[in-house]
Structure 1
């Protein structure tokens, strides 16, 4: 149960029992629970969006986005902003990239990426609520798929710097990964077959990190979660239109 509690504490703001002691190495075990914790995130987002959809699609989108921000604490948005700042200031210098990535201050590239991501999710949630309310239950699966991808990302890409991303790579969780992937695929087939294409989003981000950066950090994993969530929302909207 310790690894599950750590996964919930790390990925969400949901209340959990407090652990008396903490060892950073325990995060390596917590990664196997990322997909189930993603289902908790998805449940909060789905319920908020469905509640807002009873009144208006825009209200549904606003409720869903606010719920997404609340339950995650904006953790992965922060990773996206840090990565955008680092790439914008790196000028092909690996040392400069890592220096800016560790800087806690938010720059212009980070602000633009964060604002864009929030707008993207807001509009896509609205389109989904307006065009295909029957697909709103699929929001349960979107955060779960995105968090599941952190296992292969961290296990197959070299770590660029010490941190949470490196700790996740200390121990691969392939049995848990395949079990969760199978369960999510079955649920996707039932709720929204288009989400069977979700692994393509994970593969896209893996290829991006591999060829653009040559590795990953915790911020890269968080940014990937945000990007993959948006790609899956877009897939749901396109499927609804078609």
Structure 2
């Protein structure tokens, strides 16, 4: 339970009981990231339902605003950093890593954030209109299984956040959450796309950067969430 609270403290801005965590306890909290995603998803779905009582667009706006605020835009920051670094990839690897380490946000980073928010807004509206609000609970949960898989699969890019998590994630952790994801897919079949999205992002990160970092985890979570939203809407239209 302590790990779950630490995960909530790291991934959200929600009020939580005060707990003392050393380096090992903080790293081990990554095992609870998907559970923290369920909390985020429940809040997003609640906002979508309340706003959707007035209009689907209002529901989408409330859900998106809560999604960003409850996470403190933590993952959007990683997405913008990766976008800026990608713009330097045509030069050399050293330039790419230098831009990735720069705390300033460039034009490509701004564009990436805007496009991500617009994509989520439009897809949330489509999900609300299709009466898929319950499914929204499960999307942040599924997306946060990704960091566990990327941590085991990819080497740390540097001695930062990803390196601290690497020693704490065990194969059994991924197996447990994979079974949970499979069970959730009986309710929301679109979740079956999640492993493919995670594999795609891991392959892309390995190809462009050679390893995973905190920014890579954050950007991956954002893109997997959006990919799952798109899959959710497409499956609903086909069914």
TM-score, L = length of structure 1: 0.94
Q: Which SS does the other structure have where 1:179 is aligned?
A: helix
* Partner residue, 1:50: 49
Residues 1:231 and 2:231 aligned together:
no
* Partner residue, 1:109: 108
Is contact 1:98–1:161 with CA below 8 Å preserved after alignment? Answer: no
* Partner residue, 1:100: 99
Q: Which sections of structure 1, spanning at least 5 residues, go unmatched?
A: none
* Partner residue, 1:30: 29
Distance, in Å, in 1 between the alignment partners of 2:184 and 2:47 is: 20
Distance, in Å, in 2 between the alignment partners of 1:97 and 1:8 is: 31
Kindly tell me the number of residue pairs found equivalent between the two proteins.
Answer: 238
* Partner residue, 2:154: 157
Residues 1:11 and 2:11 aligned together:
yes
Residues 1:189 and 2:186 aligned together:
yes
Q: Which SS does the other structure have where 1:18 is aligned?
A: coil
Greater shift in the superposed pair: 178-187 or 198-207: 178-187
Distance, in Å, in 1 between the alignment partners of 2:170 and 2:48 is: 32
* Partner residue, 1:214: 210
Call closer, same or farther: CA 1:26–1:94 in 2, change over 3 Å: farther
Distance, in Å, in 2 between the alignment partners of 1:197 and 1:189 is: 13
CA deviation after TM superposition for structure 1 residue 35, in Å: 0.6
Distance, in Å, in 1 between the alignment partners of 2:104 and 2:47 is: 31
Is contact 2:205–2:212 with CA below 8 Å preserved after alignment? Answer: yes
Distance, in Å, in 2 between the alignment partners of 1:202 and 1:142 is: 13
CA deviation after TM superposition for structure 1 residue 26, in Å: 2.7
Q: Which sections of structure 2, spanning at least 5 residues, go unmatched?
A: none
Distance, in Å, in 2 between the alignment partners of 1:106 and 1:211 is: 23
TM-score, L = length of structure 2: 0.95
* Partner residue, 2:61: 62
Greater shift in the superposed pair: 135-144 or 161-170: 161-170
CA deviation after TM superposition for structure 1 residue 186, in Å: 1.0
Is contact 1:27–1:164 with CA below 8 Å preserved after alignment? Answer: no
Q: Which SS does the other structure have where 2:116 is aligned?
A: helix
Call closer, same or farther: CA 1:194–1:216 in 2, change over 3 Å: same
